[in-house]
Structure 1
Amino acid sequence: MTIAPSRREMLRARRSRDSAYDGVFVVAVRTTGVFCRPSCPSRAARTEHIEFFRDPASAERAGYRPCRRCRPRESDGGAPEWLSRLLERLRREPGARWSDADLRAAGVEPSRARRHFRRRFGMTWQQYARRWRLLEAQTMLKRGSRLFEAGRAGGYRSDSGFRDSFSVAFGRTPRRAREVDPVVTTLIESPIGLLLAGATDRGVAVLHFDEGRSRTDELAELSKRLGAPLLPGHHALLDAARRQLGEYFAGKRRLFDLPLDERGTPFQKRVWRALQAIPYGRTCSYADIARAVQSPGAVRAVGQANHRNRIAIIIPCHRVVNANGQLGGYGGGLWRKQYLLDLERGVARVEL
């Protein structure tokens, strides 16, 4: 069974330049012979001149060439090569301070890095690197390092500058670093679009689909809901989540073996545990979940708890449907819900 957004939905995504669909499909224009990402800032072509492809490779096989403005090949199959180089260097030298000259020396045009990081991470490369350094500094402080040691390792030349930056990012002074448990974030590619993933030392705390909004607004809302700062960085649980999600989408994994950091009310947590008990490839109704948590009259509250789930797929809220068997709602879009259900039934593939 072929699952993809409808042509009407893809046209809407292109007209609104919806970045939530970047990596899900590309838009090709017959009159120019060019294909773009859905969010490309170039002027949209007339509807009758547009066709859609699952990925850049399919568009190129049909004779189209990639847009030089939005660089659609970079949104397919993972991070562009230059980004991988930058992140690897950041892991090796977390205290390094980056200037535009440093980027050019690394073979990356600063304006290109700025656009890419603002689009995907809601900040510039320099801001991203600074927050990464702050996360490393907080880890040092929690392990007992002194203030000036953590600040210097984070690339700060003065204690006051380090204190100010740390307080903005964490909402606490460095001396209270042990009180803060930030959510470390990254982006994970999937066949149905980017996933924003976040983890703490307790477990995976965030996994949800790109909603096409400003990344800055999205991160601010999540930080408020989780009651913790969100900072980009590396975490072993995010590596494990990336691997297990890859296995899931390849049809090779039915259960996730990851600790979870669920943040919600006791009732919401009971609902989320009930969702995890729904067998792979099966569905149930909201009323079924209400009975499972011994609150048969709380169907509406169950629906609200389902909506509040911030760890999609791993806590499988997509397996809950209406009592009449219809899909109901889904924060990631009904076509994604249908894809996940069909994937688990062994019949899903995305093809345009």
Structure 2
Amino acid sequence: MELTEKIMYEASYTKDVSFEGIFWMGVKTTGIFCRPTCTARKPKFENVEFFFSTKEAILKGYRPCKVCRPLESLDATPQYIKELLKEISDDPTLKLKDYDLVQRGLEPATIRRWFLKHHGITFHAFQRMSKLNTAFKKLRQGESVTEVAYDMGYDSLSGFNEGFKNIFGVSPKNTPMEKVIDLKRIETMLGTMIACADEHGICLLEFSDRKALPTELKSIAEYFKANIIQGENPHFITLEEELKEYFEGTRTRFSVPLSPVGTDFQKQVWKVLQEIPYGTTRTYQEQADILGNRKSVRAVANANGLNKISIIIPCHRVIGSNGHLTGYGGGIWRKQKLLELEKAILF
């Protein structure tokens, strides 16, 4: 598919999010450049030109738009939020109030909006949940309810029991029978990703704006009969290091252990995906042929779409039989960028 100026102009006119990160539009009459999804009024076709990187636009003399902010990563976690998250992770017993945020030069309402948008709860509720998540793990490791309650800063056992049951739906004494899945936000050059892991390995790695993410998290929790909680996991250390190397272009294979959730057939398809060499692509038909059933193309495509571990299980390396890019849960623009990174450029 040739990416013509007409296609790019139409994409910017309709604010097509699937073209985010693929091109930027410069407006000759104002001297600014924008994302395809910019909400500012669109200029006439003869007054625009297109670029395939922000660097090109800047070198041509364009300034970044103040409305869509094309130089910022989509959905990136601000540094002040990262610092708060680290502080809570390092000491879950902390109880930061609005006064403490103001003392740090932060606006409580801004912090509240960010946590509501990205976690579905307020900052203060997030702190309470983080504290109880740590308690959950301590109980699973065999520590007593009384010891954990007071270690986590609770004044009474009744307060600890009530808060715990509100979050997990069970009393602390039943916790050792439950399984836990850890969840963490990871920043990448293509946007924020959500990772999940159990004791065996990574069971989810998705871009945070994928529409199917809530459904995937629910299916993982049901599959393992587990609680998914914000927390650290040893596998996250390996994952973050290997993702960083991948995006820097110095890693072509991943070694982090995986714990995929799916049927036997889906796991077969995902294994074949992992065998696609870095920097190459395959079609769905070629995948079906490798699996030994030429007629299973549709089933293979469906299994690809249900892959919950992006990049590591590289469904982005699968294209249509006509050589065009096909659907990708993280957005076609990300699929294109991943292929460009691996030098399997299709546009």
User: TM-score, normalised on structure 2?
Assistant: 0.79
Shift of 1:92: 2.9
Q: Deviations over 1:30-49 (max 9, x none)?
A: 99999999999xxx321129
Which position in structure 2 is the counterpart of 1:321? 319
Q: 1:172 to 1:274 in 2, by over 3 A?
A: farther
Which position in structure 2 is the counterpart of 1:141? 139
Give the structure with higher Rg (CA): 2
Q: 1:29 to 1:82 in 2, by over 3 A?
A: farther
Report the Cα distance in structure 2 between the residues aligned to 1:39 and 1:191, rounded to whole angstroms. 18
Which position in structure 2 is the counterpart of 1:223? 217
Matched, 1:266 2:270: no
Which position in structure 1 is the counterpart of 2:304? 306
Alignment of 1:1-352 (within 5 A): 6=8, 8-10=10-12, 12-13=14-15, 44-48=39-43, 62-63=62-63, 75=73, 79-211=77-209, 218-219=213-214, 221-226=215-220, 227=222, 228-345=226-343
Report the Cα distance in structure 2 between the residues aligned to 1:148 and 1:240, rounded to whole angstroms. 34
In structure 1, stretches of 5+ residues that fail to align are none
- 3-state SS of 1:229 partner: strand
Q: Does the 8 Å CA contact 1:280/1:344 hold for their aligned counterparts?
A: yes
Range with greater deviation from structure 2 (239-248 or 74-83): 74-83
- 3-state SS of 1:230 partner: strand
Amino acid at match of 1:318: H
Range with greater deviation from structure 2 (226-235 or 195-204): 226-235
Work out which structure has the larger RCO, using CA pairs closer than 8 Å and 6 or more positions apart in sequence: 1
Q: Does the 8 Å CA contact 1:206/1:310 hold for their aligned counterparts?
A: yes
Range with greater deviation from structure 2 (311-320 or 278-287): 278-287
Shift of 1:280: 1.0
Q: Deviations over 1:167-198 (max 9, x none)?
A: 34334432232333333222222232222222
Q: 1:285 to 1:264 in 2, by over 3 A?
A: same
Shift of 1:105: 2.5
Q: Does the 8 Å CA contact 1:184/1:230 hold for their aligned counterparts?
A: yes
Q: 1:247 to 1:328 in 2, by over 3 A?
A: same
Q: Deviations over 1:306-334 (max 9, x none)?
A: 11100011001111222332323222222
Shift of 1:205: 1.3
- 3-state SS of 2:196 partner: strand
- 3-state SS of 1:184 partner: strand
Q: Does the 8 Å CA contact 1:223/1:229 hold for their aligned counterparts?
A: no
Q: How many residues align?
A: 335
Amino acid at match of 1:188: I
Shift of 1:254: 0.4
Shift of 1:259: 0.6
Q: Does the 8 Å CA contact 2:34/2:65 hold for their aligned counterparts?
A: no
Shift of 1:264: 0.9
Amino acid at match of 2:242: Q
Report the Cα distance in structure 2 between the residues aligned to 1:229 and 1:24, rounded to whole angstroms. 37
Report the Cα distance in structure 2 between the residues aligned to 1:259 and 1:337, rounded to whole angstroms. 23
User: TM-score, normalised on structure 1?
Assistant: 0.78
Q: 1:276 to 1:97 in 2, by over 3 A?
A: same
Q: Does the 8 Å CA contact 1:21/1:193 hold for their aligned counterparts?
A: no
Q: 1:293 to 1:134 in 2, by over 3 A?
A: farther
Q: 1:48 to 1:280 in 2, by over 3 A?
A: same
Q: 1:253 to 1:222 in 2, by over 3 A?
A: same
Report the Cα distance in structure 2 between the residues aligned to 1:71 and 1:319, rounded to whole angstroms. 30
Q: 1:316 to 1:28 in 2, by over 3 A?
A: same
Shift of 1:87: 2.2
Q: Deviations over 1:179-231 (max 9, x none)?
A: 33333222222232222222222211111123365xxx944x23321124332
Report the Cα distance in structure 1 between the residues aligned to 2:32 and 2:153, rounded to whole angstroms. 43
